[in-house]
Amino acid sequence: MDISIKNPSSNARANESTLIWAVICSILLHLLLLAVIPNFKFDAIKEIPQELTIQIQQPKPPEPAVVPEPPKPVEPIKPVSEPIKPLPKKMPKPDPIPVQDIKPEPVTSEPPPPPAVITAAPKADAPPVITAPPPPPEPPKKIEPDEADISAALSQYGGTLGRAIAKHKQYPKIAQMRGWQGDCLLDLKIDGSGNVLSANVKESSGFEALDKQALEMVRKASPFPAPPEALRGRSFDITVPVSFKLE
């Protein structure tokens, strides 16, 4: 078995030399980096390639050929057909007319006589003529109708009123149920325009419901048509029958 004993001083020296070399290598490495990094930056900037853009222009279409227009023919100058008129000859100047001496007439200072004044006697003013207007024409006298005309007009107008009242006829329901029938005679007072002034039952039909219905028919039918000419301008009484019959 071999036993080797190392010297402690040799180990310390080896460690010191190793530390020195490590420091030297570190310094060299830093120097190398300081030398390389600036050059690396400038070289990187310089080596960036620049972009090159190329534009291709399309060829223009060929322009159409211009055909020159043929020259227009020159029209010949037409000769003047009218003859040249000769210039007029100069007329001789007329001889001057001798001016005679004209003596002015003498002016008299006497004024002309005044015009004669014609006098006439003044005329007397004539009195104005006043014409009276003609009198207004007299209104036509109204011919009063006689009793025969009034009776005929009442008979005619009574038929007109009967037809106008019949248009509003409505049979009472209670009269229909119980079979009531009859004729009601009404006494009407009417003015000259056909308005009803009063209406009364002159003769009853025998049933109050039928009488009331007859008066209601008159109320709905009024105002009536205008009466005949013989009945206008005044009020009059007229009797109108109203019939109720079940069919």
CA gyration radius, the chain: 76
Catalogue the E-assigned strands of the chain.
182-190, 196-203, 236-244
Distance between CA atoms of 227 and 190, rounded to whole angstroms?
Answer: 9
pTM for the model: 0.42
Residue 135: what pLDDT?
72
**Omega into 223 within 30° of 0, i.e. cis?**
yes
Q: What is the pLDDT of residue 160?
A: 92
Closest among 209, 201, 212 to 178, alpha carbons compared: 209
Question: So what's the pLDDT on residue 18?
Answer: 85
What residues pair up with 201 in beta bridges, in sequence order? Answer: 186
E strand or H helix that includes residue 231: none
Fold of the domain spanning 148-244? 3.30.1150
Displacement of CA 82 from its chain's centroid (Å): 72
pLDDT at residue 122, rounded to an integer: 54
pLDDT of residue 164: 93
Return the pLDDT at 45: 46
Q: Where are the alpha helices (DSSP H) in 80-230?
A: 147-166, 173-178, 208-221
Please list the pLDDT of the chain residue by residue as tens digits (247 residues): 444 444 556 666 777 788 888 888 888 888 887 776 665 544 444 555 556 565 666 656 666 666 666 666 666 666 555 556 666 666 666 666 655 555 556 555 666 666 665 555 555 555 666 676 777 776 666 667 778 888 899 999 999 999 999 999 989 999 999 999 999 999 999 998 899 999 999 999 999 999 999 999 999 999 999 999 888 888 899 999 999 998 7
Per-residue pLDDT, 65: 62
CB 242 within 8 A of CB 203: no
Question: So what's the pLDDT on residue 26?
Answer: 86
Q: What are phi and psi of 40, to 5 degrees?
A: -65, -40
Contact 238, 202 (CB under 8 A): no
Per-residue confidence (pLDDT) for residue 25, from 0 to 100:
87
Of 130, 174, 156, residue with least CA distance to 227: 156
Please report how many Cα atoms fall inside a 13 Å half-sphere around the Cα of residue 17, on the Cβ side: 6
CA dihedral 142, 144, 148, 154 (to 10 degrees): 80
DSSP codes of every residue in 136-179: PPPPPPPPPP-HHHHHHHHHHHHHHHHHHHHTT----HHHHHHT
pLDDT at 87: 61
